[in-house]
Structure 1
Amino acid sequence: MKKSRLLAGLVLLAGIMLSVTGCREKTYKLALVTDVGTINDKSFNQGAWEGLEKYAKDKKMTYQYYQPKQQTTNDYVESAKVAIENGAEVVVTPGYLFENAIWQLQTEHPDVKFILLDGSPHNVIDWDTMATLDGEDPNYDIKDNVYSIFYAEEEAGFYAGYASVKEGMRDLGFMGGMAVPAVVRFGMGYIEGAKYAANELELDDGAVTMKYTYLNSFIPDAAHQTKAAAWYGTGTEVIFAAAGGAGGSVMKAAEEKQNKWVIGVDVDQRAESRTVLTSAIKSLGSSVYQTLDKIYKDGVKGGTSETLDSTVGGVGLPAKSDADFDRFQNFNKEQYDAVYELVKNGTITVYDDVEDPDYVALGGAKVVVTVE
């Protein structure tokens, strides 16, 4: 009898130990839920993931990512809940599509921290009718467990447009993924930068042209490649592909042509193709890393939104050394540093109002914009 009880006890103990071990294997303190795409999209998701991963490795913390099955608020919420069940103390969500999800989660999980990139929590699900997630009045509360981070994409786009025209290009193109605020700001800035350079060079009116469109997608597609190839075939020299993973399709089109270029987005995409002239980047990785440090090291509470611009190195072109400009023939780091300083000190102010943007008017007389 004693032996039977001892054996039963050992079996129970083993079961408990196995259960605990299993829990430990599923415990990841830091989590990221992907937006459209994956963590290796060479763009927005990947930039955020690299920041989380670096912090986790530096601080010897466990981490994991979760990919929603579909692009819906419910799926985002459920993926975040799985992360929390698996031990997440901080959940990083890259993209405005998480705004409704974080609005819901911030109240349901007050002990969990949420880093929301390119967005701010709210319950509005239809801006035309102002219908809301819960049927109540519109609510824009940001709880103190939410860290809302925006970027001055218009400034990054400005540098890309400025560099293109200073390089000597006159036939430009812009392909945005979708007409969402961040992408619209990239595009507006691109037009403004091209115009500023055209004025600086005293070019004739209409000397610079720009085709402008939204692909309605952030993922690679043969149709995007075909469209880009058509633009290149009719004279476009460079396309700013502010379209996440869809930018890869534009790169493929450029690779099939001679002397055609792409401007990457969000992260330095130089390594993705020999056709990437430069990239309009946001400090995704470093902003995630720094926010995690604020949470764990400094105990800083959230509850507000902040916009990272040129004054804090939040946006720009890759510019660590002259090597970042070696695909240019005329534009160089010295010129970039000079115009960056003008934006940084406020001498140049880049337009950033995304409400009913008039792309043609932004180009003025110098840059003729054709919206497709």
Structure 2
Amino acid sequence: SILYKEDQAGFLAGYAAVKEGFTELGFMGGLSVPAVIRFGYGFVAGANHAAEEMDVDVNVRYTYLNSFNPDPQFTTMATSWYNSGTEVIHAAAGGAGNSVMAAAEQAGKWVVGVDVDQKDESTSVLTSAMKNLKGSVYDATKAVFEGEFPGGEILNLGVEVEGVQISADFSRFETFTEADYDALYADLVADKDGLASNIPNDSTVEDISTVDFSRVTVEFIE
């Protein structure tokens, strides 16, 4: 089995959003399942790391939609968030993310996509917190043919094998650069000052407001 360190993917995206200058963020998860919880925790942790570097304070609204399907009520909720100050929402919500994108388009605000590069799905997608599905499937297939695939093992892929990333297209950023991203990625790979190992990723705790962040205030909405 191949699993991914979603917390690291979320971290990269949250860092990028704050480095871009956004301080009013949102997270909308589909169901509060482990992978989604890890995306959210990482997103907030990455935002916090950037906020520490920039000496700014960040607010995050955070909720689970209890669905991965599109629904007009999710567009309505996202619209209310955008209209009351939220600048970018990380939608780790499958098809429900398209409902958030619709709200972002109407409001002229931003979305962070999930799993794959979703920029072609909406002009509102700033970047995406991605699993390197294509690369890891290629590597696994190659290992099978070379007789080196570790059958029966669970592989949990993160930055150390380029298993997670954000979109390689930086054209929708005005401030955050590819050089900024490369520097952060290298720090995560090296686990500089515990950067990767200290990302909270206890996927049994869905209420992130129980976690203490130095520069991020989380409003957990049930």
TM-score range, shorter chain: over 0.9
- Which residue of the partner structure matches residue 303 of structure 1? 152
- Which residue of the partner structure matches residue 339 of structure 1? 184
With over 3 angstroms needed to count, the CA separation of the structure-2 counterparts of 1:299 and 1:329, relative to structure 1, is closer
Asked whether 1:226 is paired with 2:80, we answer no
Equivalent of residue 313 in structure 1, options 140, 153, 162: 162
2:207, 2:220 within 8 Å by CA — same for their partners in 1?
Answer: no
Q: Find the residue that maps to 2:200 and give its secondary structure.
A: coil
Q: Find the residue that maps to 1:173 and give its secondary structure.
A: strand
With over 3 angstroms needed to count, the CA separation of the structure-2 counterparts of 1:328 and 1:297, relative to structure 1, is same
The Cα shift of 1:359 comes to 1.4
Q: Find the residue that maps to 1:159 and give its secondary structure.
A: helix
| TM-score between the two structures when normalised by the length of structure 1 | 0.56
CA distance in 2: counterparts of 1:216 and 1:183, whole angstroms: 11
CA distance in 1: counterparts of 2:101 and 2:37, whole angstroms: 21
Q: Find the residue that maps to 2:28 and give its secondary structure.
A: strand
User: % of aligned pairs identical?
Assistant: 49
Asked whether 1:360 is paired with 2:220, we answer no
Asked whether 1:282 is paired with 2:135, we answer no
- Which residue of the partner structure matches residue 192 of structure 1? 45
> 1:256-302 deviations in whole A, cap 9, x for unaligned?
112x0000000000111111000000012222233233334536351
Asked whether 1:216 is paired with 2:66, we answer yes
Counterpart AA for 1:302: G
Long gaps (5+) in structure 2: none
Alignment of 1:137-156 (within 5 A): 148-156=1-9
- Which residue of the partner structure matches residue 54 of structure 2? 201
CA distance in 1: counterparts of 2:32 and 2:207, whole angstroms: 13
Alignment of 1:264-279 (within 5 A): 264-279=113-128
CA distance in 1: counterparts of 2:82 and 2:93, whole angstroms: 17
CA distance in 2: counterparts of 1:192 and 1:263, whole angstroms: 15
Asked whether 1:176 is paired with 2:21, we answer no
With over 3 angstroms needed to count, the CA separation of the structure-2 counterparts of 1:342 and 1:185, relative to structure 1, is same
With over 3 angstroms needed to count, the CA separation of the structure-2 counterparts of 1:286 and 1:275, relative to structure 1, is same
With over 3 angstroms needed to count, the CA separation of the structure-2 counterparts of 1:358 and 1:223, relative to structure 1, is closer
The Cα shift of 1:221 comes to 1.1
> 1:185-235 deviations in whole A, cap 9, x for unaligned?
0000011011111111122xxx21000001111111111111111111111
- Which residue of the partner structure matches residue 90 of structure 1? none
Q: Find the residue that maps to 1:172 and give its secondary structure.
A: strand
Number of matched pairs: 217
| TM-score between the two structures when normalised by the length of structure 2 | 0.92
Q: Find the residue that maps to 1:230 and give its secondary structure.
A: helix
Work out which structure has the larger RCO, using CA pairs closer than 8 Å and 6 or more positions apart in sequence: 2
CA distance in 2: counterparts of 1:281 and 1:164, whole angstroms: 15
- Which residue of the partner structure matches residue 145 of structure 1? none
Counterpart AA for 1:226: T
> 1:54-95 deviations in whole A, cap 9, x for unaligned?
xxxxxxxxxxxxxxxxxxxxxxxxxxxxxxxxxxxxxxxxxx
Alignment of 1:1-372 (within 5 A): 148-203=1-56, 207-258=57-108, 260-298=109-147, 300=149, 302-319=151-168, 324-347=169-192, 348-349=195-196, 350-356=199-205, 359-362=208-211, 364-372=213-221
Long gaps (5+) in structure 1: 1-147
